[in-house]
Chain A
Amino acid sequence: MKKKEKKRSKWLVNTVLGIISIIWLIPTLGLFISSFRPATDILQTGWWTIFPHRAWETTVELELSKDVDLRQPIEIDGTSYTDEELRKGIKINDQRLIWENRRARIVNVQDKVWNMNTDFTLENYMSVLTGKEYSIMQPDGSVRVEKGSDLSQAFWNTVAVSIPGTIIPILIASFAAYAFAWMNFPGRRVMFVIIIALLVVPLQVALIPVLKDYTALGLNGSLLGIWLAHTAFGLPLITYFMYNYISQLPRDIFESAYIDGASNFSIFSRLVLPLSVPALASISIFQFLWVWNDYLVALVFIGSQPDVQVLSMKIADLVGSRGSDWHLLTSAAFISMLMPLTVFFLLQKYFVKGLLGGSIKG
């Protein structure tokens, strides 16, 4: 009896979770499909029209007399309709009447038929990957096509920002977490509380003061500057996360290591680090995703000079000054997603362990 109940509740949970993940996936799927559709199609029809669906298709075109007054009832096949009805389309039995061309007084008679939009293209990916083409008119009237820069520079810039931006804070935070968990020194509690309290400070309030200091130090627009910024903004959470994990390691190992004469540094490097691999891996994913997708910090501390510009900024600029090329965002989003996805799948087996890292306490 009990077993059955348990099974049923498990089934229920799985269904609910399944539905939630499908709901979460639908927009991504839509984006993915859109990224392969031509720009004009994206503007006109939804991505779901690539699946078989029933749509109106014209079978006959009726030409009315040219001098039909549109503001009077319009007579077609003995029935009269208003202009309003014909604009929206009016259903008679299985057919629909709708204006094809009001000026020429042509009315479409449409049937519902099965339809599919199967026009796909790689153009969105091409123009994102190899750079957009700008046609620039020359003084002599000819048109010169100038190729915009491709994504590779921005991609490597982002790699150069995110890898140290992930490793540095995690390294520092693990040292700190070990110290907070297993070392006794005056002011330990106070300092730890300060770090926890910093979790609630939004990074936006720090932008202007930090920028002032960077200007004085000449760190603006340099890689070192943004590494430091990401390190500082990431430290509180990572320290807290690592502290939760490291403080749960069994006390006995530390005691025996200490008796054997190990120093704090060798305890840390030989015991704590290898034991915390799951936690390190999962916080790496968090921090890497955050740095990779970051726009604000990069915008303020690095700027959009082409030689240092990161991917998120490059992608935002793809749409053009007035946003007319937004269809390119579809493919750009998937390209920028590749790297985080790779990192995620490489470290995935630690991920779930890490998610629980802060929650189960002895």
Chain B
Amino acid sequence: MKKQWRKSVVSVLSILLIFTLIFAGCGSSATNEPTDEPSNTEGTATNDQPQEQPADEGTYLEQAYAGKFKGTKVSMFGPFADADEVKFNNSIKEFEEKTGIDIQYQGSKEFEATINIRVEGGNAPDIADFPQPGLLANFVKSGKVIDVSTFLDGSHLKSNYNQSWIDMATMEGKDGEIMAGIWNRSNVKSLVWYPKKQFEEAGYTVPQTWDELIALSEQIAADGDQAWAIGIESGAATGWAATDWIEDIMLRTTTPENYDKWVKGELSFTSDEVKNAAKKMTEIWFNDDYVYGGRKSIVTTSFGDAPKPMFDNPPKTWLHRQGNFITSFFPEGLEAGVDYDWFYLPSIDEQYGKPVLVAGDIYAMFNDRPEVRAVMEFFTTGESIKTWVQSGGVIAPMNDASLDWYASDMDRRMAELIQNASTIRFDGSDLMPGSVGAGTFWKGMTDYASGTVDLDEAMEEIEAGWNK
């Protein structure tokens, strides 16, 4: 009897011991975090060296070309893999050969989840590629990202980037605002794709205003087709394609200042501005004569499959609003500019000019070493993305990227569109915190499109994400 009692006491005690150990471990690591130095041991070891460099040796990039950092390695981590990875490696090949710096790129489809673990675990890459500035902002807030304005020449940046890009790279850090990274790639979202050859054969013309766009949809409907290919299904991310529509229409129906406020959460989703944008969208979305397969098919059609019926012969549907990346989903064997082309999603209210919705990749720096600085400086030049631009599918945000580089007329017109835009704004859902931008915004739009909730309920549902 006594023995048994003793046995169970031992077990209970040891289990308690383990749990206290575990919780103590978690607790201490949690409290340690803020005091942790921004990056890793390597970084701090060489930290002072850069500042001591005499200025007359030139910028880090010039030093790199002079062969000063030969044999060093710079690790890079980002979400693009597969074909994009091949294109990226091609675009840095020349730099690597000239400078002797080895840029080791790692691509992972689980970038968003992994980058957190790696930074917290002290294994941050030297440079990380963020397609979502909102995600980067979290790291900036905790002081883990290095301020690139400390070593990059401000006047060079100003002349090489549209002011909107620089503003978008400036984020709130632990001790005031810092320049959190540099923009290296961009893509344009305000595009409407159409099957060019058949479009012209059918006698349609590219609309210049929103009213003309609706008139074109009506004309196509009368001819017997449903004009718009819309699909927002995307697995766990279902609904993101709808957020782009709202953002694009927001820019066309209200001021850029209101858009910024909206993205920051200061302008509510339940406000008239946002509701008005949603209503404008439903002029097309909820009209069964305009949407291929009708409204009910919007939420069940995959965003990648949506444009495919445009390329049936004859086209089953004619218009598709999506960013320039969508061409990789088009059936093989189509020729850009001949079989398909794009036009700018027309303005709705003239007073807001020609706004363009963009997305892009910002490169942020986690470890401060001279060779990393050189690579970052390299990424601010158009040269760093030249071969990628030439192979198509990407737009360079830098001004020194020549328009001649673009492989097709189609890409060149996109670059011109960005350069001539009255306002450039980043994809809002990527800037909002994850609980909204990758949460209720997606879900609310999906519910609204499928008809399970009405406009007011949908907007309240989305707005609730800010309180999470």
Contact = CB atoms under 8 A, between A and B. Distances in A.
Contact of A146 (B86, B118, B123, B222): B86
A214 interface: yes
A102 interface: yes
Interface in B113-159: 114, 117-118, 120-123
The 3 residue pairs across chains A and B that have the minimum distance between CB atoms:
A211-B121, A102-B224, A317-B81
Contact of B123 (A215, A304, A322, A324): A215
Interface string A183-196: 00000011001100
Interface stretch (B104-112, B165-173, B431-439): B104-112
Nearest to B29: A209
Contacts of B123: 211, 214-215, 220
Q: Which of A103, A137, A146, A321 lies at the interface centre, i.e. has the most chain B CB atoms within 10 A of its CB?
A: A321
A153 to B, nearest CB: 15
A211 B109 CA distance: 20
Contacts of A216: 41, 122
Contact of B117 (A102, A104, A207, A324): A207
B96 interface: no
A233 to B, nearest CB: 15
Interface of A: 43, 70, 101-105, 132, 134, 136-139, 141, 146, 148, 189-190, 193-194, 197-198, 201, 205, 207-212, 214-216, 220, 299-300, 303-305, 313, 316-325
Given A138-B391, A139-B387, A208-B120, A193 B14 contact: yes
Contacts of A209: 25, 29, 121
B439 to A, nearest CB: 20
A316 B111 CA distance: 12
6 contacts: A103-B224, A104-B314, A136-B391, A212-B120, A320-B82, A321-B107
Contacts of B114: 299-300
A138 B107 CA distance: 23
B314 A101 contact: yes
B51 to A, nearest CB: 25
A322 B329 contact: yes
A137 B393 CA distance: 10
A21 B90 CA distance: 49
Contacts of A70: 222, 224
Given A207-B121, A208-B117, A138 B390 contact: yes
A84 B433 CA distance: 43
A250 to B, nearest CB: 24
A201 B22 contact: yes
Nearest to B118: A211
B26 to A, nearest CB: 7
B223 interface: yes
B80 interface: yes
Nearest to B388: A136
Contact of B82 (A205, A300, A317): A317
Contacts of B416: none
Contact of B40 (A215, A304, A313): A215
B79 interface: yes
Nearest to A313: B108
B254 to A, nearest CB: 30
Contacts of B7: 189
A303 B17 CA distance: 34
A305 B123 CA distance: 14
B94 interface: no
Interface string B306-319: 00100000100000
Interface of B: 7, 10-11, 13-15, 17-19, 22, 25-26, 29, 40-41, 79-84, 86-87, 90, 104, 106-110, 114, 117-118, 120-123, 202, 222-225, 304-305, 308, 314, 325, 328-329, 387, 390-392, 405, 407
B173 to A, nearest CB: 22
Given A193-B14, A214-B123, A320-B83, A304 B107 contact: yes
A215 B225 contact: no
Contact of B18 (A197, A210, A215, A305): A197
Contacts of A324: 304, 328-329
B15 A197 contact: yes
B121 A321 contact: no
A205 B11 contact: no
A321 B122 contact: no
A103 B79 CA distance: 43
A209 B114 CA distance: 14
A325 B13 CA distance: 54
Contacts of B108: 299, 303-304, 313, 317
B390 A190 contact: no
Nearest to A197: B18
A305 B106 contact: yes
B225 A317 contact: no
A317 B109 contact: yes
A69 B308 CA distance: 27
Contacts of A215: 40-41, 121-123
Nearest to A83: B224
Contacts of B109: 316-317, 319, 321
A321 B81 contact: yes
Given A138-B390, A190-B10, A299-B110, A43 B26 contact: no
Contacts of A201: 22
Contacts of B84: 320-321
Contacts of B86: 134, 136, 146, 148
Contacts of B10: 189-190, 193
A168 B125 CA distance: 30
A332 to B, nearest CB: 13
B14 A194 contact: yes
A222 to B, nearest CB: 12
Q: Which of B29, B224, B329 lies at the interface centre, i.e. has the most chain A CB atoms within 10 A of its CB?
A: B224
Nearest to B124: A215
Contacts of A190: 10, 13-14
Contacts of B13: 190
B264 to A, nearest CB: 28
Contacts of B79: 321
Contact of A212 (B11, B18, B22, B121): B121
Given A208-B117, A324-B328, A303 B106 contact: yes
B309 to A, nearest CB: 11
A27 B407 CA distance: 43
A205 B117 CA distance: 11
Contacts of A319: 82, 109
A136 B388 CA distance: 9
Contacts of A210: 121
Given A103-B223, A103-B224, A132 B11 contact: no
A148 B107 CA distance: 14
A105 B329 CA distance: 29
Contacts of A148: 82, 86
A215 B40 CA distance: 8
B398 to A, nearest CB: 18
Nearest to B109: A316
